[in-house]
Amino acid sequence: MTVLNGCSFTEESVEPEVELPVKKKVLFNQSTKGGTNSVTVIEETQGNKRTLRVVLQRGDLKSNLIHPIDSPNFVIAVPLQDTTSKRLSLRTASFEQSLKINVDQLLSRYLSPERFNVSVIINWDKKLLQEVQLKNLPLDSDASKADTNDDEVEGESGLSESVKRNHELKEALKSVQVSVLLDNTLPETQELFLKKLIPAQEFFFADRGDTVSVERTSFPKPFSDSIAPYEEQ
């Protein structure tokens, strides 16, 4: 007890706060050239505090992004290269086109190509697409050159790589919408057959929300090379 000018003060000892240890868990890691170029996603936990650390390094350039996790549904958007985004857009467009060609070839077995038209629209899960984009981020090469390299790969390795990329895109599918424009001259049984044929294909999942619709319209009569179009007559 200390007395000063009639006032008394009580000295209380303050215990220093014990700093909780930080637990780190690597959620994703991709590196090339011995780690010179890398992408690493780390979850850091300190008591009730959770933080997501994204470390991006390309040569001498390094960025350290730190984001607090406020909820279990936390989503982080990692800024990626424009060229990488372009590659992914081309891949999704190519995937949609290949699916349309497959449906065209399927219907051509039973209908004349001049009597139908197919449209395929794919709804993508943007979050899963971003994960695909992150996994395929080119760390040590020019992404614009990688486009041509992907097309030039041949043999079993090229086929397996293509199958792998298509499998990754299939995982990001949200739903598929198939629309068929059908000629009025075709019987009703053909329309009913198409509505059963398309959902029976491997790519179609009704539980996922995939749909098929058929619309009737009048198709112009096809003309041969020896007969000029109506506008030229």
Backbone angles phi, psi at 137, to 5 degrees: -65, 120
Order of strands, sheet of 173-183, starting from the edge strand that comes earlier in the sequence? 116-124, 173-183, 211-217
Q: What pLDDT sits at residue 118? A: 94
Distances (CA, A) of 152 to 34, 89, 98, 158, 178: 27, 19, 18, 8, 31
pLDDT digits (tens, 9 = 90+) for 34-43: 667 787 888 8
Residues of the chain with pLDDT > 90, as a percent, come to: 30
| Mean pLDDT within 176-202 | 94
Q: How far apart are the C-alpha atoms of 203 and 211, rounded to whole Å?
A: 11
CA distance 195 to 211: 10
The rounded distance, in Å, linking the Cα atoms of 187 and 183 is 9
Whether the Cβ atoms of residue 174 and residue 95 lie closer than 8 Å to each other: no
Q: Is 216's pLDDT higher than 50?
A: yes
Biggest distance spanned by C-alpha atoms of the chain: 121
55, 80, 106, 177 from 128: Cα distances, Å: 20, 15, 29, 19
Determine phi and psi for 66, rounding to 5 degrees: -120, 125
Residue 80 near residue 137 (C-beta atoms within 8 A): yes
Q: Return the structure tokens found at 171.
A: 């995982």
SS3 state of residue 211: strand
For residues 190 and 153, give the distance between their C-alpha atoms in angstroms, rounded to a whole number: 41
pLDDT tens-place string over residues 33-73: 666 778 788 888 888 788 878 787 777 666 666 666 665 55
Q: Do 91 and 112 meet the contact criterion of CB atoms below 8 Å apart?
A: no
Of 41, 63, 70, give the one whose Cα is nearest residue 134.
41
Q: Answer whether residue 230 shows pLDDT above 50.
A: no
pLDDT at 74 exceeding the cut of 60: no
